[in-house]
Chains A and B, each alone.
Chain A
Amino acid sequence: MIRVTLPTHLRALAQVSGAIELEVAEPITQRAILDALEEVYPMLRGTIRDSLTQQRRPFIRFFACGEDLSHEPAEAVVPHEVVTGKEPFRIIGAMAGG
């Protein structure tokens, strides 16, 4: 079971309060996680990645295990700790202060 955390606004949109647990078929890649997430929570379509191009939105970041995975290919397998559910796949609203 994969654990995914969302930023505040997306938790409100998805009407969830904590981490989301998802069944994701292997190989567990960023794309597979996002596909599974949008399947269960269709209201998130287009908010994390463009609904047409599937490109990550510019101010979204993907963190896991203390690493920024945002620029990894969508087909890259996520870290083992995420695959085993020990660590969450963190979807972050990028820092954009001034």
Chain B
Amino acid sequence: MHFSKDKTMSEVRVLVGTRKGAFVLRSDEQRKDWTIEGPHFPGWEIYHITGTASDPNRLYVSQSGGWFGQVIQRSDDAGKTWQTVSNAFAYAGVPGTHQWYDGSQHAWEFQRVWHLEPSPNNPDSLYAGVEDAALFHSSDGGASWQELSGLRSVKGHLWQPGAGGMCLHTIVLSPDDPKRIFVAISAAGAFRSDDGGMNWQPVNQGLKSDQELPDAKAEVGHCVHSIAMHPARPNTLFMQKHWDVMRSDNGGESWHEVSGNLPSDFGFPIAVHAHEPETIYVVPIKSDSHHFPPDGKLRVYRSRSGGNEWEALTNGLPQSHCYVNVLRNALAVDSLDSCGIYFGTTGGQVYVSADSGDHWMPIVHDLPPVLSVEVQVLR
């Protein structure tokens, strides 16, 4: 998420990563008429395409595929031209092992980059969350990567992959403290560093995983799907867990459930309104294994009270025979005065609401399955 207050005519740029390429959707602040550009990198899986807050024309892309592995692309001109940067993600020291499906120990092996998170003040500084789960940092715009290996020392030998792989998919940088970093890993949990990534602690107290873990309140092993923070409230975090929507008001030290009246407390993404720190959004999904909206109705749920009381947002969304999913990186908000909400589906639709979720319209219907959505507002 990238925030800026905009009083003049603005351009909105939506960056969409899909299973078969990247797309850039452009509009003005009305967000009614859109142009669609792409696919960039056709045929490749784009797990994430994102901009940088301090240089909106600097974009980064995680491009990968089964044949040719991982590529990282960088653009300095908003996607007109691209250059590859380093794809050498070497675990620090002896990589070691983690838990495997059969209970044995399995060597850490790099698979792909799930998430790229640029620092808010320096476009050359960015973090990469990878599978097998680890966090890397680059201080030279992706020309080289160094692992912040202290993370894996937090009982990493006990982590084991979930159905989606053992991926570090969420990176949240605290806006008021450049040394504070939160990350989330599927089937491992949430973790926090207060020293720029050297040392880490699990921040999973209050999470309960009755159906996934023998010890439902274990220190690690919880399947966290995503975490969101409003920049004005850096100690308040919202989490969509495999089951349960959770909230912390003390920087992750403890969590409590705020699923309330949701039709399903399973889902993948969670987001916070740009101007209302207590207004949050989730997309409930039926599970286990179904992974489509309950009752075939695609509904975004909004809570204006920081959780517990939720309202269904349906105006403009399909309310019958809809069986798509919305993945963890595929929900975003913009920073315009009338806050825009965006999400992409595994059916290839990208929806926008220009009024905080009250009304929705599809920007595009038939993209490949959407993996990630990010929004930039440009003056």
Q: A and B: real partners?
A: yes
Tell me the A residues contacting B by CB distance below 8 Å.
7-10, 13, 42-43, 45-48, 50-52, 57, 59-60, 93-94, 96
Asked whether A52 lies within 8 Å of B87 as measured between CB atoms, the reply is: no
CA distance A94 to B65 in the complex (A): 13
Chain B residues touching A, majority SS: loop
Q: Is B69 an interface residue (CB 8 A)?
A: yes
List chain B residues, Cβ under 8 A from A9: 43-44, 65, 67-68
CA distance A8 to B90 in the complex (A): 27
Asked whether A59 lies within 8 Å of B66 as measured between CB atoms, the reply is: yes
CA distance A7 to B43 in the complex (A): 12
**Which 6 pairs across A and B sit closest by C-beta, in order of nearness?**
A43-B84, A47-B68, A59-B67, A46-B87, A93-B67, A51-B88
Asked whether B43 lies within 8 Å of A96 as measured between CB atoms, the reply is: no
19 pairs, A vs B, C-beta closer than 8 Å: A9-B44, A9-B68, A13-B68, A43-B71, A43-B84, A45-B88, A46-B69, A47-B71, A47-B87, A50-B69, A51-B87, A51-B88, A57-B67, A59-B67, A60-B67, A93-B67, A94-B67, A96-B66, A96-B67
List chain B residues, Cβ under 8 A from A51: 87-88
Nearest to B70 among chain A residues (CB) is A46
CA distance A55 to B71 in the complex (A): 17
Nearest to B44 among chain A residues (CB) is A9
Asked whether A57 lies within 8 Å of B84 as measured between CB atoms, the reply is: no
Number of A-B contacts (CB under 8 A): 44
By CB atoms of chain A within 10 A, which of B44, B68, B87, B90 has the most? B68
Asked whether B90 lies within 8 Å of A47 as measured between CB atoms, the reply is: no
CA distance A9 to B67 in the complex (A): 10
**Interface bin, chain B:** 10 to 19
Nearest to A47 among chain B residues (CB) is B68
List chain A residues, Cβ under 8 A from B88: 45-46, 51-52
List chain A residues, Cβ under 8 A from B67: 7, 9, 57, 59-60, 93-94, 96
Once A9-B43, A9-B44, A13-B84 are accepted as A-B contacts, the answer to whether A57 and B68 lie under 8 Å apart by CB is yes
Interface residues of B in 205-241 (CB under 8 A from A): none
List chain B residues, Cβ under 8 A from A52: 88, 90
Asked whether B68 lies within 8 Å of A10 as measured between CB atoms, the reply is: yes
By CB atoms of chain A within 10 A, which of B69, B83, B88, B90 has the most? B69
CA distance A7 to B233 in the complex (A): 49
By CB atoms of chain A within 10 A, which of B43, B67, B83 has the most? B67
Asked whether A93 lies within 8 Å of B84 as measured between CB atoms, the reply is: no
List chain A residues, Cβ under 8 A from B69: 46-47, 50, 57
Per-residue contact bits, chain B 86-126, to A (CB 8 Å; 1 contact, 0 not): 01101000000000000000000000000000000000000
CA distance A10 to B71 in the complex (A): 11
CA distance A46 to B71 in the complex (A): 8
CA distance A60 to B84 in the complex (A): 20
List chain B residues, Cβ under 8 A from A93: 67-68
CA distance A11 to B83 in the complex (A): 14
Distance in Å: Cβ of A96 to nearest Cβ of chain B? 7
Nearest to B85 among chain A residues (CB) is A43
Nearest to B41 among chain A residues (CB) is A12
Per-residue contact bits, chain B 35-49, to A (CB 8 Å; 1 contact, 0 not): 000000001100000
Per-residue contact bits, chain B 47-72, to A (CB 8 Å; 1 contact, 0 not): 00000000000000000011111110
List chain A residues, Cβ under 8 A from B65: 9
CA distance A51 to B86 in the complex (A): 10
Distance in Å: Cβ of A25 to nearest Cβ of chain B? 25
List chain B residues, Cβ under 8 A from A42: 84
CA distance A45 to B144 in the complex (A): 13
Distance in Å: Cβ of A15 to nearest Cβ of chain B? 10
List chain B residues, Cβ under 8 A from A50: 69
Given A43-B84, A45-B87, A59-B67, 5 other A-B residues pairs in contact with their CB atoms under 8 A: A9-B44, A9-B68, A13-B84, A57-B68, A93-B68
Distance in Å: Cβ of B130 to nearest Cβ of chain A? 13
CA distance A3 to B245 in the complex (A): 57
List chain A residues, Cβ under 8 A from B66: 59, 96
